[in-house]
Chains A and B, each alone.
Chain A
């Protein structure tokens, strides 16, 4: 028994992304990820599975990391959303971005936005100090290129030098 939808219905959605308010008319089934990528041209947030398995779509909602592929856009209204495009301060890279660059914490770059968003959230989470604890906290972000060792080095570098900012 399929549900027949008589017409494409849209709902008005207002999203606050990187401190800018955006108005959209969306199919209510639209995920936050597709809203960003297909409707707002914010393609820095990546789709690696669409099923909450890879972490490529990680964004911050009210300061916490969230998988945007598992979040409906309508449900993200009234919240502060931060994507990778909102991390740098103008031309000035965030120290985490710079650390990824310096430690070569990526290859193809496709998992990178998600890794960086997770890494930034981790700075505010009760993650222990050791490499192994960081590995555990980052294990929702897959990297098929295998940049893992360098990603951990980048994160630990930032934690060591910018601990006070966390």
Chain B
């Protein structure tokens, strides 16, 4: 970037600084949504259905209501009717659903999945509320639910809605059949992935407090403005009357992107009992009512010439959704752009099950889809007796094969090379079961990683105060992603003010409008807005100096003024200048404000924008027990400008760890008769723990991208997760000769 009014960097961006909110987190002082002190609080506990499909016949809250300390029990019998939902029902499918997601708000007696909220107890304490919840008696008229993905598969139907409102549900290029006919080698396989549950360490939590007709929600959300909009529409009140606050979030991973039932229920309850209500889900309640990753059944067909050139590629994904809402796991989007294959078809289909509606879960679509695609490439490499990296390089896409657009930047070749070198790929002998460590089978596997660059409109304010300090405001979020930190760094460089003198405010609808913090787009969206807001404030400051006759910089060339360390100086003459405090004190002591309403330009029309990487796994399999121990995971990524290598590395390690869970452990199990979530806790739903996680090594490929956004960064929240499941599955095959096409790779599948 060489534009003349770009600041000469003061070096904050790109430095591996510690998290600016770190001190609050290591001392326990950071307050998450359930931890806000609010007077006169009542406690809500949700009661859930115990059947998967049917109608509530009788719901008896009498015993619960009589328990001392119980304030109210809301059931479909007495819950306030929501005009917005009644209107939506009347209009059929014409209007848009006020709640966004299909929620369970005690408006009727229908039950669509096991664990659906059917009542809410409000009491003076958690203990009483939990006890009372156990006393609500319900009887049902039970209908036969559809639970089993395998048996329901014949009912699959094509998805017709655009995915994310943008991407076509199905694509076709070239002539697939001709490509298959021309192939020397063909592969036709089915991969399956199970339902998974986000399980952030912080449970979903909402405190709802009314002050007259104004509602404040302290909500564990990654989308304050989105929640405000949903709540306002659902309750039929103006959005200005709703304030949503989310300063710290204990992990989200997509699950906290929507206003789920409990958020609305908390608001309704607080209005009914005329007291603030705190509603924290239990860990068990996180399975079903707040989304998860759906099942997928993915059919992949490949054709290739002897030399590895792909001649045909088909990827059809069928994913599960609920009976109340369509939600598509966009599993084939990565397939459309990853390899330069002239003949290709992709599609998405849906199966309706009596389960909670699925939602975005870390690398939604890419994580599950790339397990299939990158496993299939590995299978093909064995068919062809070709090195897996060489096969991928053979089909390297120099431009986006789907749109034909050039990449804004792509450094995948370098990622393969760097990853392979750091991992020691060269020592791998190709034959399965050919590498051993004592009696343990050793496996080495790799896969490609990729995730699109997404950007949405975002606004930010930058305010420089007369004491030389600055405050940045944006209604975005830090989910552990480092947002507070990298925004501080961006502002420091743009303003020329030291890091320690900048405060960033996030997570409040009183702050400028920002999109959901998801899809790896916070840096591109909010980061760009903050950069531009800070640049605007900087311009005003310089303008003030060069037009102030009492300033040493009076009549200096605008572009020749630099700001660093809180001082404005003339380029090449550091003695000529003054501090921000001096300048502002002389000019009425008023703050300087910069505002940016940033949005993507036409770059998406011109370029295809994606981050890329490579991921390598080394593991050991016990030939007698089938246990898999991952020894090393090495990833190399090119994601544009890295704003903070320390937090960036952590985010990628987190994604890789999440991917390891997907590969080897994670599986939300439903009882096929009752639809009950069988392993609805974090002892039975396995996620990686310390002892599972090996050394993870993350490397960056230097990449400069002038097109993606004003700060040249691509986002890192999801890409670490992509490809990991395939790299591990490929390494398991290399170790054992057993190809597991059904996640997770548990030991029973290897014996």
Is chain B a partner of chain A in the same complex?
A: yes
Q: Cα distance A148–B19 when bound, in Å? A: 17
Q: How far is the CB of A87 from chain B (nearest CB, A)?
A: 7
* Stretch among A1-9, A60-68, A158-166 lining the B interface: A1-9
A138 near B690 with CB under 8 A, answer yes
A77 on the interface (CB 8 Å rule)? no
B654 near A147 with CB under 8 A, answer yes
A107 on the interface (CB 8 Å rule)? yes
* Stretch among B119-127, B231-239, B549-557, B707-715 lining the A interface: B119-127
Q: How far is the CB of B449 from chain A (nearest CB, A)?
A: 15
B654 near A107 with CB under 8 A, answer yes
A142 near B202 with CB under 8 A, answer no
Overall SS of chain A's interface: loop
Q: How far is the CB of A131 from chain B (nearest CB, A)?
A: 8
B201 near A142 with CB under 8 A, answer yes
A149 near B37 with CB under 8 A, answer no
- Indicate which residue in A8, A38, A108, A140 contacts B126 across the interface (CB closer than 8 Å): A38
Contacts A37-B35, A48-B202 given; indicate if A109 touches B250 (C-beta within 8 A): yes
Q: Mark B183-204, 1 if CB is under 8 A from A, else 0.
A: 0000000000000001111110
Q: Mark B21-44, 1 if CB is under 8 A from A, else 0.
A: 111111111111011010000000
Q: How far is the CB of B379 from chain A (nearest CB, A)?
A: 28
Residues of B within 8 Å of A11, CB to CB, are none
A85 near B28 with CB under 8 A, answer yes
Contacts A8-B125, A135-B691 given; indicate if A51 touches B25 (C-beta within 8 A): no
B657 near A107 with CB under 8 A, answer no
Residues of B within 8 Å of A110, CB to CB, are 32, 200-202, 250-251, 480
B250 near A108 with CB under 8 A, answer yes
B69 near A88 with CB under 8 A, answer no
Q: How far is the CB of A82 from chain B (nearest CB, A)?
A: 12
B27 near A2 with CB under 8 A, answer no
Q: Cα distance A81–B25 when bound, in Å? A: 20
B63 on the interface (CB 8 Å rule)? yes
- Indicate which residue in A42, A113, A146 contacts B658 across the interface (CB closer than 8 Å): A146
B18 near A101 with CB under 8 A, answer yes
Contacts A142-B687, A144-B201, A148-B690 given; indicate if A93 touches B26 (C-beta within 8 A): yes
- Indicate which residue in A109, A139, A144 contacts B691 across the interface (CB closer than 8 Å): A139
Number of interface residues of B (CB under 8 A): 71
Q: Cα distance A83–B27 when bound, in Å? A: 10
A141 on the interface (CB 8 Å rule)? yes
Please name the residue on chain B nearest to A41 by beta carbon.
B37
- Indicate which residue in B27, B127, B481, B690 contacts A27 across the interface (CB closer than 8 Å): B127
A46 near B250 with CB under 8 A, answer yes
Point out which of A6, A102, A135 has the most chain B C-beta atoms below 10 A from its C-beta.
A135
B156 on the interface (CB 8 Å rule)? no
Residues of A within 8 Å of B31, CB to CB, are 43
A147 near B127 with CB under 8 A, answer no
B128 near A27 with CB under 8 A, answer yes
Q: How far is the CB of A39 from chain B (nearest CB, A)?
A: 9
Residues of B within 8 Å of A29, CB to CB, are 127, 131
Q: How far is the CB of B391 from chain A (nearest CB, A)?
A: 30
Residues of B within 8 Å of A100, CB to CB, are 22, 26
Residues of B within 8 Å of A149, CB to CB, are 653, 693, 695-696
Q: Cα distance A8–B68 when bound, in Å? A: 6
Q: For residues 20 through 64 of chain A, which have their beta carbon under 8 Å from a beta carbon of chain B?
A: 27, 29-30, 34, 37-38, 41-51, 53-54, 56
- Indicate which residue in B27, B649, B696 contacts A84 across the interface (CB closer than 8 Å): B27
Point out which of B24, B26, B35, B134 has the most chain A C-beta atoms below 10 A from its C-beta.
B26
Residues of B within 8 Å of A76, CB to CB, are none
A107 near B21 with CB under 8 A, answer no
Q: Cα distance A88–B23 when bound, in Å? A: 11
B201 near A107 with CB under 8 A, answer no
Q: Cα distance A147–B26 when bound, in Å? A: 13
Point out which of A34, A83, A108 has the most chain B C-beta atoms below 10 A from its C-beta.
A108
B248 on the interface (CB 8 Å rule)? yes
B654 near A84 with CB under 8 A, answer no
Residues of A within 8 Å of B249, CB to CB, are 108
Q: How far is the CB of A94 from chain B (nearest CB, A)?
A: 9
A85 near B27 with CB under 8 A, answer yes
B26 near A145 with CB under 8 A, answer no
Please name the residue on chain B nearest to A107 by beta carbon.
B480
B682 on the interface (CB 8 Å rule)? yes
Q: How far is the CB of A4 from chain B (nearest CB, A)?
A: 8
Residues of B within 8 Å of A93, CB to CB, are 23, 26-27
Residues of A within 8 Å of B251, CB to CB, are 107-108, 110, 144-145
Q: How far is the CB of B660 from chain A (nearest CB, A)?
A: 8
B229 on the interface (CB 8 Å rule)? no
B28 near A6 with CB under 8 A, answer no
Please name the residue on chain B nearest to A101 by beta carbon.
B22
B650 on the interface (CB 8 Å rule)? yes
Q: Cα distance A147–B31 when bound, in Å? A: 20
A139 near B68 with CB under 8 A, answer no
B402 on the interface (CB 8 Å rule)? no
Q: Cα distance A106–B653 when bound, in Å? A: 11
Please name the residue on chain A nearest to B286 by beta carbon.
A49
B480 near A145 with CB under 8 A, answer yes
Point out which of B35, B280, B681, B695 has the most chain A C-beta atoms below 10 A from its C-beta.
B35
Residues of A within 8 Å of B30, CB to CB, are 109
B27 near A104 with CB under 8 A, answer no
Residues of A within 8 Å of B135, CB to CB, are 2
A112 near B25 with CB under 8 A, answer yes
Residues of B within 8 Å of A108, CB to CB, are 200-202, 248-252, 479-480
B25 near A104 with CB under 8 A, answer no
B200 near A144 with CB under 8 A, answer yes
Q: Cα distance A46–B250 when bound, in Å? A: 10
Please name the residue on chain B nearest to A132 by beta carbon.
B691
A143 on the interface (CB 8 Å rule)? yes
- Indicate which residue in A56, A141, A145 contacts B690 across the interface (CB closer than 8 Å): A141
Contacts A56-B201, A136-B691 given; indicate if A106 touches B26 (C-beta within 8 A): yes
Q: Cα distance A29–B125 when bound, in Å? A: 11
Q: For residues 96 through 148 of chain A, which have their beta carbon under 8 Å from a beta carbon of chain B?
A: 97-98, 100-102, 104, 106-113, 116, 132, 134-136, 138-148
Residues of B within 8 Å of A116, CB to CB, are 26
Q: List 10 A-B contacts (CB under 8 A).
A: A84-B28, A100-B26, A107-B251, A107-B480, A107-B651, A108-B251, A112-B28, A132-B691, A146-B655, A147-B650
The 8 residue pairs across chains A and B that have the minimum distance between CB atoms: A44-B28, A110-B250, A146-B657, A108-B480, A107-B480, A109-B25, A146-B654, A84-B28
Known: A29-B131, A88-B27, A143-B690. 4 other contacts (CB 8 A): A48-B201, A83-B28, A108-B248, A135-B690
